[in-house]
Amino acid sequence: MNTGEESAGRTMLVAVGVALFCSAMVTVAVHLLRPVQAAYAAVERNRAIVEAAGLASADASDDTVVSDFLSLDAEVIELGTGAVVEGVDGYSFDHWAAGGDTVPPEVPIYLRHESGRLVRVVLPVDGRGMWSTIHAYLALEADLNTVAAFVVYEHGETPGIGDRIQNPQWLSLWPGKRLRNAGGDLIFDVSDDPSVPAEYRVDTITGATVSSRAVGRLVRAWLGEDGYARALTALARREGMTP
Amino acid sequence: MSLVRYVTEPLVSENPITVQILGLCSALAVSRSMEPALIMAVSVISVLVFSNLMVSLLRHVLPNSIRLILEVTLIASAVIVVDETLKAYAPGISEVLSVFVGLIITNCIILGRAEAFALRHGPLESVADALGNGFGYAIILIGVAAIRELLGAGTLFDHPVLPLVEAGGWFRTNHMMLYAPSAFFLIGFLIWAIRSLLPRQAEVREYPPVRAGYRETSS
């Protein structure tokens, strides 16, 4: 152990030296590992989309996930008008990359067709949870008014508490729920309020009330006028359905 | 002491968990099944070897006044590198281990070995000591994980070993084994067993009980 004289200068020198060494080590490691992590994140994102589309299961191999993902039709739509943006690759378009809290003008959506007919549409949704931004995918049946699946892709809610929004049992409550009533009003909500009819309501999670309510809030926001409302109307028209 | 003994001593007779009762937090938290326990053990061994080596190399240079800060800086950097590596190459396990990889920084074994050993020994001995203590930690962690996974889920490394009642077999899973307290019991039994076999390890009572029926409340 060092027992010798300790001048302030030498102490500083050693401190700076160790700090520089450590930061160099961390920087190099992170720089080298980032691409590998990004590749994994991309596959996981495709996995969430494919799962929402009802194709591969959560434990499918990476190759299955990617090929299933490419079997979907990815389009980028302009939320303001609901129109498809031409000339943009929907498979690689990432409207979450920029981050931030504002709704981006253009968003990718994923359509699953079977023998020419629309079966499901997968819509990315995001919003504030309790601590973090929750990124998720909402899949709708071909009538564009029935939930087919809800898959949470990414969140930073409290482990063991808020992360129950990923609980398969809770997510299994989603399929079959209706969004709008016959008058076109958005009724769907995550709520424990019994005045919301059960067919429009997913119960909040005991112990994860804030996070699960936040999920309901963000889904409602994305289905509203500032979200997918116009895009869904336009999609129904394009697919030759009466909305 | 030869290098080999530095490695073998901490396995049982000087085991960091059962003798020194260090590093318990992660031993309780990540010993639920084999795979995360194995990855955790490898992570702790890597960090331990790095920190012992670095502290040993720098032992004549580290100023006493900021010695601990510098040691923790080195340990923390190694932990970040390990954490990022896991996120890249074992992302599933990394999610299971969640905060516990980051908490290796506060694992008492690592700072303990740096302070108690690496500051006074050369790099070669320090690496041997790190390997020994790392393996000692790994043995307990993996052993406890094996018991917990086997009794709690009837599997080892997620492979079915005991036929479950649900699948027509005879084995009924013990759900308590899936919760952290079971690791407390198991490590407790282990310490009891080892100290019965090696009575040398049992600590001498530091003071006699004050009077019958009186329970010591402060520790």
Q: How far is CA B1 from CA B56, B115, B127, in A?
A: 17, 19, 14
Residue labelled with tokens 């990359």:
A97
> Which two three-digit tokens encode residue B102?
């980051």
Domain assignment present for A243: no
Lowest mean pLDDT among A29-38, A54-63, A190-199, B6-15: A54-63
User: What domain range includes position A90?
Assistant: 42-238
Is A6 part of any domain?
Answer: no
Rg value, chain B, Cα? 19
In this predicted structure, which of A51-60, A97-106, B34-43, B99-108 has the lowest mean pLDDT?
A: A97-106
Break chain B into its structural domains and give their ranges.
Answer: 3-197
Nearest residue, CB atoms, A37 vs list B66, B74, B87: B87
The reported pLDDT for the residue numbered B162 is 85
A178 within domain boundaries: yes
Among the listed residues B101, B121, B134, the one whose alpha carbon sits nearest the alpha carbon of residue B22: B134
DSSP 8-state assignment for residue A165:
G
Q: Classify residue A30: in a domain, yes or no.
A: no
Are A231 and A84 within 8 A, CB to CB? no
| Domain presence at residue A13 | no
Determine whether the interchain pair A29/B81 forms a contact, defined as Cβ–Cβ distance below 8 Å.
yes
Residues of A in contact with B119 (CB under 8 A): 1
In a domain, A108, yes or no: yes
pLDDT of residue A4: 52
Nearest-CA distance from A15 to chain B in Å? 7
- What's the rounded Cα separation, in Å, for the pair A114 and A7? 76
Q: How many domains does chain A have?
A: 1
* pLDDT 10s digits, A84-123: 988 888 898 888 887 766 778 889 999 999 888 899 999 9
Segment A165-176 mean pLDDT: 93
Instruction: Encode pLDDT of B115-134 as tens digits.
Output: 999 999 999 999 999 999 99
Q: Fill in the amino acid letter for A205.
A: I
Residue B217: pLDDT band (50, 70, 90) is low
Chain B environment of A19 (Cβ under 8 Å): 73
In a domain, A15, yes or no: no
Phi and psi for A120 in degrees, rounded to 5?
-145, 155
- DSSP assignments along B112-170, one per residue: HHHHHTGGGS-HHHHHHHHHHHHHHHHHHHHHHHHHHHHHHHSEETTEE-SPBGGGTSS
pLDDT score at A1: 47
Mean pLDDT for all residues in chain A:
89
pLDDT of residue B219: 47
Inter-chain touch B81–A19, beta carbons under 8 Å: no
Instruction: State pTM to two decimals.
Output: 0.76
Q: Is the ipTM of this complex over 0.85?
A: no
Is A181 a member of any domain?
A: yes
- Alpha carbons A139 and A141: distance in angstroms, whole number: 7
Across residues A217-241, what is the average pLDDT? 89
Which residues of chain A have a CB within 8 Å of the CB of B93?
Answer: none
